[in-house]
């Protein structure tokens, strides 16, 4: 009893005081403090919070080694590295932006999401830094740089380009005497034959919605070319998301679904579960970004020689070019305008996009965002196929969800998921997209 | 003396009230304020739109669909959880071996973090390697195998089963406590009249549990209106057709992921009004119940 | 507990079968999770049902050897205990004032606080984010502690107030005659008497805050600040195809509270139900 009587109030008071003190010390970052505050402030400003999405081996190590090289060259600066996984990252960044404390340096895929931060004045313009270092500027892959530039201002530095390719299991195809499909009809034929042999045609998990969107974007691009999407997104020249190419793409998707091209229950599967099907050779194909190879290297090294890659098939009577690829910047880095130490942040970007980092990127199976000849010289043998497809492309169509502003992007993924689930018609889905686009245009 | 007591009482209430006001009441009012804007949360430019978000909400099919799912969850709670919980509690009150172990096991899901519950049920529902499909295949019901969380028709029931799995044990404990409070004489009298165990359950246990049933039902109403966790976590990105979206998860996804903080806040305010309304009914019922005793 | 029992043998068997069936339903997923964590990857691929070949703790050991994972436990404990201490420290005096003292505005205060019982926490998430960002508490454990404490005030005040209200006024009155001030009465007489109620509240808050997910998800980002539920989610995400490791991590994540539960079942059950019923 005695103990209790003494300890309870004391503990409470101590804890409240402690919390208040902690809260106070955390606030120091923003408040210009008196006396010793200036030292603390200098120390705090020499810290770079760095968020990226390379949370798994081996690319995790590439970033880590770039950071450690940076640390060695900038001993006064501490880098607080925060690796996150893909979808949580998108959400966390929005939350942090909303809370007013974004990281100093962070991952971006360029495109619409980056643009909305640029429009909100949250991103540092990197053009002056690039112009001050022409060697750096000229080493970067111009197409990738385009995805990170708005109104002539470069807002992020790309380090890695990707493209979505049709990956297939060579061993299974050989065993069943199949050729990788070159047209959509051949693709359907392949699906049928694989299915007849008890092999799942496509490993696909669509619960996160973006894997299905790859199919949609590719089919729409092969049917109508890149024009309809560009015009619909920018609302120019009567562009419309109800363009026939989007509707036809939806119809083709539903044809694939009805032909059981995808594993049962794919709408509730995520990418992890889906690639497990491909890596354990239960599925014959997977339509995926080039990052698949990095996963393969780690999770199924024995598959290395069995994975082949071809461009997405063409569509009969399609207006799109056969070499256009769906792709984008798989990793780029931007600096937030609230960064207290932009000089250090730019130095970190140079380290992340420099030749040493690029070489390591390439070794993991990635395609560094450097000019063609430099990049192709570095590329690892396993990703040579996909890298050639990228560099031979007449055009890179940025992933639809990354090209669009966030709200439309969500709608695009949602309607596409519904097309896959057969709960909506392609016609309806197209109308929903177009209505939202009109509503958003009207608000502006 | 009176003034002194007044001062001291306020001194005692002040810290709690300050903390509560700062982190609960002020944000609540801000929710309403933000809901009057078209705003993505991080931009400097907040466009005042008055009640337009609310007008849009009234026309928003996804919102009404989500609300409908909240009601589905509530119905499941009332029709599935409560009856099972009553039966389990009544059985446990009888002459049962290992009653303590059984009760402990039945309540255990309540102790798990929802994150673990969600991950577990994701494994159970996994379309390829899942336990449920494995079980169905094993007993010759291959035709029933499906991607439970990925199909618009099965996703909501599947998540609801997981919700029931977690909370039924909780209601069972409430009922078990209620049964203990039923006077033993009532049972004895019924038994002397020759009532069977089943008849005693119907005529003694159920009426005796009425006050607890009311509490359980009200907890279900308030709890279902504001439910979030499992419907958000399973499946990870959301089922097709927003098949598992509830009002609270819709608020989160729309407000944060789709860059519509203003609209998200409008959903939040609507959710708040709905729960306060259901809660108000509860308070009103409480008051009615306690009045005879108070007077 | 003893009930007069004229139950037929058949009835008794049915009762046991039913109870046992539901027991298996409730417990099996957890047992499966633990067993799967003990399997090797080959065993798991061969059969998802078969029990592990032995009591293999390799996966568990591997996870526990990661400093990051151990950190989750520490963070969770800091947040949970910090929030409970803060909640009780502010709620106990408030509940005492509302339950035993008379003052102007009493009614308004209690209505405002009781309304918090039914308020969905998610309603305030977006503004709270702004607020925490504004005062430098975003992505800090102390910020999370304060939010948890603020939202725990209603339930604590309601339970404690009911308890203080039950204490016969003669007890504090006698102390007052002996010359105790109101503060002394609270500290030396009422709080010790209220130990069971404080304990109940503490248990209720412990289980809820220990398992809490949405606040942690929204208000924390740094890996070294993650709480256990957040850490588990992250672990499962980054070990997507590795069910065995995920199950081992989940088992480890569930373990602390499960152990407490089996040791002090009665208290946990009572605390959880008391807290929820008054809420």
Say if residues A148 and A328 touch (Cβ distance below 8 Å).
Answer: no
A344 and A45 in contact (C-beta within 8 Å)?
A: no
**ipTM over 0.85 threshold:** yes
Burial of A23 (0-12, 13-18, 19+ CB in 10 A): middle
Contacts with C105 (C-beta within 8 Å, 6 or more apart), sequence order: B10
Closest Cα in chain C to A24: C136
Pairing of strands A105-108, A47-52: parallel
A345–chain B nearest CA distance, Å: 21
Instruction: Give residue A27's pLDDT.
Output: 32
pLDDT beyond 90 at C259? yes
The reply to whether the predicted model has a pTM over 0.95 is no
* Separation of alpha carbons B162 and C190, rounded Å: 43
Q: Which chains touch C (3 or more CB pairs under 8 A)?
A: A, B
Among B148, B238, B256, beta carbon nearest to A265: B148
| Domain contains B24 | no
Residues contacting residue A37 through CB under 8 Å, at least 6 positions apart: A28, A31
Query: Does any domain span residue B203?
Result: yes
Over range A278-306, report the average pLDDT.
Answer: 89
Sign of CA dihedral C50, C54, C55, C57: negative
Q: Is the dihedral of CA A42, A44, A50, A55 positive or negative?
A: positive
CB atoms under 10 Å from CB of A207, counted, come to: 28
Q: How confident is the model at residue A18 (pLDDT cuts 50, 70, 90)?
A: very low
Q: Which residue has the higher pLDDT, C155 or B42?
A: C155
Distances (CA, A) of C117 to A268, A374, B282: 35, 63, 11
CA A159 centroid distance within chain: 12
Question: pLDDT tens digit string along B65-96?
Answer: 999 999 999 999 999 999 999 999 999 988 88
Tell which B residues from 245 to 274 touch A, by Cβ distance under 8 Å.
256-261
CB C233 within 8 A of CB B116: no
Q: What is the average per-residue pLDDT within A62-91?
A: 89
Residue B38 lies in a domain: no
State the Cα–Cα distance between residues C269 and C261, nearest whole angstrom. 8
Kindly tell me if the per-residue pLDDT of B143 is higher than 90: no
Residue B57 belongs to some domain of the structure: no
Phi-psi map region of A300: left, alpha, beta (phi>0 left; psi -120 to 50 alpha):
beta
Predicted pLDDT of residue C66: 87
Q: What is the pLDDT of residue B291?
A: 52
Residue B163 and residue B240: Cα distance in Å, rounded?
A: 20
Q: What is the pLDDT of residue A211?
A: 95
User: What's domain C77-222+270-278's architecture?
Assistant: Orthogonal Bundle (1.10)
Show residues of chain C in contact with B278, CB under 8 Å: 118
User: What pLDDT, on the 0 to 100 scale, is given for residue B289?
Assistant: 64
Can you tell me whether residue B262 is helix, strand or coil? helix
Q: Does B39 touch chain A (CB under 8 A)?
A: no
Does any domain span residue B55?
A: no
Residue A353: predicted pLDDT: 92
Whether A265 and B242 lie within 8 Å, measured CB to CB: no
Distance CA C31, CA C43 (A): 16
| Residue B206 near residue B86 (C-beta atoms within 8 A) | yes
Domain boundaries, chain C: 77-222+270-278
> What is the spatial distance between Cα B115 and Cα B233, in angstroms, rounded to a whole number?
7
| Predicted local distance difference test score (pLDDT) of residue A37 | 33
pLDDT band at A434 (very low <50, low <70, confident <90, very high): very high
Cβ–Cβ < 8 Å for A163, A396? yes
For position A36, what pLDDT does the model report? 34
Distance from CA of B157 to the nearest CA of A (A): 14
Note the pLDDT tens digit of each residue in C22-45.
Answer: 999 999 999 999 999 999 888 888
Mean pLDDT of chain B: 88
The reported pLDDT for the residue numbered A98 is 85
Pick C136's closest partner by Cβ from A27, A271, A299.
A27
Name the percent of chain A lying above pLDDT 70: 90
The count of structural domains within chain B is: 1
Which residues in chain A have Cβ-Cβ distances shorter than 8 Å to B150? 206-207, 265-269, 421
Look at residue A232 in the predicted model and tell me its pLDDT.
95
In a domain, B53, yes or no: no
> Does residue B52 lie within any of the structural domains?
no
- What is the pLDDT at residue B2? 58
- Domain residue limits at B226: 62-287
C-alpha distances in Å from residue A431, one per residue of A246, A247, B230: 10, 9, 32
Q: For residues B60-66, give the mean pLDDT.
A: 94
Digit-coded pLDDT (tens) for B162-190: 999 999 999 999 999 999 888 888 888 88
B23 to C151: CB separation less than 8 angstroms, yes or no: yes
Q: Do A292 and A275 form a contact (C-beta atoms < 8 A)?
A: yes
The pLDDT-based confidence of B156 (bands split at 50, 70, 90) is: very high
Q: Is C279 a residue whose pLDDT tops 80?
A: no
Question: What is the CATH number for B136?
Answer: 1.10.3720.10
In order of their start, the domains of chain A are 41-159+330-391 (3.40.190.10), 162-326+399-443 (3.40.190.10)
Mean pLDDT, rounded, for A218-245: 93
Q: Is residue B45 part of a domain?
A: no
Assign C201 a pLDDT band (cuts: 50, 70, 90): very high
A301 DSSP 8-state letter: G
Q: Where do we find the tokens 């803060």? A: C86
pLDDT digits (tens, 9 = 90+) for A95-141: 888 888 899 999 999 988 899 899 999 999 999 999 999 999 999 99
DSSP single-letter state for residue A365: T
| Res A20 pLDDT > 60 | no
pLDDT tens for each residue of A285-296 = 999 998 898 888
Asked if B23's CB is within 8 angstroms of C265's CB, the reply is no
Interchain contact B147–A (C-beta under 8 A): yes
């Amino acid at each position: 009893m005695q103990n209790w009587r003494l300890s309870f109030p004391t503990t409470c008071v101590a804890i409240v005081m402690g919390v208040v003190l902690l809260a106070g010390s955390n606030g120091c970052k923003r408040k210009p403090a008196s006396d010793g505050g200036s030292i603390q402030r200098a120390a705090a400003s020499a810290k770079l919070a760095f968020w990226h999405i390379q949370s798994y081996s081996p690319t995790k190590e590439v970033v880590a080694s770039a950071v450690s090289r940076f640390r060695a060259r900038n001993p006064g600066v501490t880098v607080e590295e925060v690796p996150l996984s893909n979808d949580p990252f998108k959400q966390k960044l929005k939350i942090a932006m909303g809370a007013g404390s974004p990281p100093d340096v962070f991952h971006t895929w360029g495109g619409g999401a980056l643009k909305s931060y640029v429009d909100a004045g949250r991103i540092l313009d990197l053009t002056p830094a690039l112009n001050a270092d022409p060697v750096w500027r000229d080493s970067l892959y111009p197409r990738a740089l385009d995805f990170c530039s708005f109104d002539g201002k470069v807002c992020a530095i790309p380090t890695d380009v990707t493209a979505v390719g049709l990956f297939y299991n060579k061993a299974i195809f050989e065993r069943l005497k199949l050729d990788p499909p070159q047209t959509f009809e051949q693709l359907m034929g392949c699906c049928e034959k694989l299915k007849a042999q008890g092999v799942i045609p496509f490993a696909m998990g669509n619960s996160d919605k973006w894997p299905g969107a790859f199919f949609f974007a590719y089919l729409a691009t092969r049917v109508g070319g890149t024009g309809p999407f560009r015009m619909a997104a920018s609302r120019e020249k009567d562009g419309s998301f109800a363009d026939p190419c989007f509707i036809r793409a939806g119809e083709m998707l539903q044809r694939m679904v009805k032909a059981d091209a995808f594993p049962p229950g794919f709408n509730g599967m995520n990418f992890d579960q889906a690639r497990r099907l491909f890596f354990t050779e239960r599925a014959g194909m997977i339509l995926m970004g080039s990052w698949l190879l990095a996963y393969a290297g780690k999770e199924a090294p024995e598959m290395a020689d069995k994975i082949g890659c071809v461009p997405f098939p063409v569509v009969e009577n399609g207006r799109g070019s056969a070499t256009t690829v769906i792709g984008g910047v798989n990793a780029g880095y931007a600096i937030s305008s609230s960064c207290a130490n932009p000089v250090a942040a730019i130095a970190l970007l140079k380290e992340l996009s420099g030749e040493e980092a690029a070489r390591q990127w390439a070794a993991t199976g990635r395609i560094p965002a450097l000019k063609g000849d430099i990049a192709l010289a570095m590329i690892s043998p396993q990703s040579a196929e996909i890298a050639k497809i990228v560099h031979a492309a007449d055009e890179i169509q940025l992933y639809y969800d990354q090209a669009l502003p966030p709200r439309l992007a969500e709608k695009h993924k949602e309607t596409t998921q519904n097309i896959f689930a057969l709960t909506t018609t392609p016609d309806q889905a197209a109308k929903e997209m177009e209505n939202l686009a009109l509503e958003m245009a009207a608000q502006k | 003396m009176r003034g002194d007591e007044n001062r001291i009482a306020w001194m005692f209430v002040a810290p709690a009230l300050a903390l509560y006001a700062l982190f609960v009441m002020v944000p609540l009012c801000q929710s309403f304020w933000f809901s009057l804007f078209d705003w993505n949360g991080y931009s400097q430019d907040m466009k005042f739109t008055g009640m337009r978000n609310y007008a849009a909400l009234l026309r928003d099919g996804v919102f009404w669909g989500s609300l409908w799912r909240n009601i589905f969850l509530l119905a499941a709670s009332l029709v599935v959880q409560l009856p099972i919980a009553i039966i389990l509690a009544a059985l446990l009150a009888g002459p049962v071996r290992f009653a303590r172990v059984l009760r402990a096991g039945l309540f255990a899901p309540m102790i798990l973090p929802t994150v673990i519950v969600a991950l577990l049920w994701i494994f159970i529902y996994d379309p390829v390697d899942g336990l449920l499909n494995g079980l169905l295949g094993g007993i010759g019901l291959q035709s029933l195998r499906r991607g439970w969380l990925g199909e618009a028709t099965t996703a909501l029931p599947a998540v609801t089963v997981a919700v029931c799995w977690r909370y039924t044990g909780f209601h069972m404990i409430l009922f078990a406590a209620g049964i203990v409070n039923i006077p033993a004489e009532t049972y004895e009298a019924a038994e002397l009249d020759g009532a069977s165990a089943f008849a005693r359950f119907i005529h003694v246990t159920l009426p005796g549990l009425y006050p607890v049933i009311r509490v359980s039902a009200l907890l279900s109403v308030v709890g279902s209106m504001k439910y979030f966790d499992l419907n958000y976590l399973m499946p990870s990105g959301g089922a097709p057709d927003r098949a598992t979206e509830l009002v609270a998860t819709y608020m989160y996804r729309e407000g944060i992921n789709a860059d519509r903080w203003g609209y998200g806040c409008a959903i939040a305010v609507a959710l708040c009004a709905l729960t306060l309304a259901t809660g108000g009914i509860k308070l009103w019922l409480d008051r009615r119940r306690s009045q005879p005793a108070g007077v | 507990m003893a009930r007069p029992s004229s139950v037929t043998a058949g009835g008794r068997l049915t009762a046991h079968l039913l109870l046992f069936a539901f027991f298996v339903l409730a417990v099996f997923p957890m047992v499966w999770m633990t067993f799967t964590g003990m399997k090797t990857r080959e065993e798991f691929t061969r059969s998802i049902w078969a029990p592990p070949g032995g009591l293999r703790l390799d996966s568990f050991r591997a996870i526990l050897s990661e400093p990051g994972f151990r950190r989750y436990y520490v963070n969770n404990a800091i947040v949970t205990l910090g929030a409970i201490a803060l909640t009780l420290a502010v709620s106990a005096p408030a509940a005492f004032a509302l339950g035993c003292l008379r003052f102007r505005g009493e009614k308004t205060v209690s209505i405002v606080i009781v309304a918090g019982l039914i308020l969905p926490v998610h309603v305030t998430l977006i503004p709270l984010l702004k607020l925490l960002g504004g005062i430098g508490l975003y992505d800090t454990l102390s910020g999370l502690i304060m939010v948890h404490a603020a939202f725990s005030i209603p339930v604590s005040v309601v339970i404690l107030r009911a308890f203080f209200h039950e204490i016969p006024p003669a007890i504090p009155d006698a102390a007052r005659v002996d010359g105790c001030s109101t503060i002394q009465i609270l500290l030396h007489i009422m709080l010790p008497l209220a130990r069971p109620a404080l304990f109940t509240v503490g248990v209720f808050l412990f289980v809820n805050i220990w398992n809490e997910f949405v606040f942690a998800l929204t208000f924390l980002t740094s890996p070294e600040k993650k709480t256990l539920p957040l850490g588990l989610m992250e672990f499962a995400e980054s070990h997507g195809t590795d069910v065995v490791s995920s199950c081992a991590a989940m088992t480890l994540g569930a373990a602390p509270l499960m152990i407490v539960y089996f040791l002090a079942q009665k208290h946990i059950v009572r605390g959880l139900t008391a807290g929820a019923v008054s809420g």
